Amino acid sequence: MSSTVPLEQRILRQAEDLLAEALKRHLPEAPEDARLAALEATASRIGGFCLERYWSDKAPPEAQHGALHQIGTSLAQALSRTPIHPSLALCCLARPRLDESRRRREGVYYTDFRLAGFVADQLAPALREADSWLDPACGTGILLVAAVLRVAGDDPTARARMLAERVRGADLDPRALRGPGPGSGPGPGGGPGPGGDPGPAAQSTRNPGYPCPTQAVSWYQLRL
């Protein structure tokens, strides 16, 4: 008996297949990081920011840049044709790929894009008054991205300011934390944050509120 395929997976199947096929064709020898680099390239097409500046000193090999830009263009077009906001779709695609048994064993549960939007709608009035927001188990950041979309709307300057000053997330999985990179939009200067400043990469930190090291994300690196 076949299992039911979630709506989110059905909607994004074409984009997922496009990404997998493009990586196989253009970057067959590339490591797993090529997938996230391709999603970051997609975000740069959607958000209109400089990808090379965003990558800074953590850029993939220069020989891969052309292929990554090409994949980003194709995937951005595919995502524009889905009913899921591109920023939320990128959060979905950036999730670490774990089989069902490992997800159950490690207690990994992903937030569906519809649930993220519902929760953001319910919290929006309180979030407008809050000084800061924290998701202590953010994964690839879909709930925080949905919240910023609800509160800031279509104002890219307001989004960038919220991401820079008010939004924080943490997660035990560093692979998930790279996912927020593709999630949001450019700052006022065309870069990831205020003035186009690409900002620091996600940093490891030991928080006394957690039993082990977590990752603190510089949320203005998101691409809304």
Buried residues in 39-62 as b, exposed as e (16+ CB within 10 A): bbbbbbbbbebebeebbeeebbee
Residue 170 parent element (H or E): strand 167-171
C-alpha 171 chain-centroid distance: 13
pLDDT of residue 187 exceeding 50, the answer is: no
pLDDT of residue 212 exceeding 50, the answer is: no
- Residue listed under structure tokens 């924290």: 134
Among 120-124, 130-134, 135-139, 211-215, top mean pLDDT goes to 120-124
- pLDDT tens-digit series, residues 14-65: 999 999 999 999 998 877 789 989 999 998 888 888 888 888 877 888 899 9
DSSP code string of 74-130: HHHHHHHTSSS-HHHHHHHHTS----HHHHHHHT--PPPHHHHHHHHHHHHHHHHH-
- Residue listed under structure tokens 């959607």: 46
For residue 182, what pLDDT band results from cuts at 50, 70 and 90? low
Name the percent of the chain lying above pLDDT 70. 79
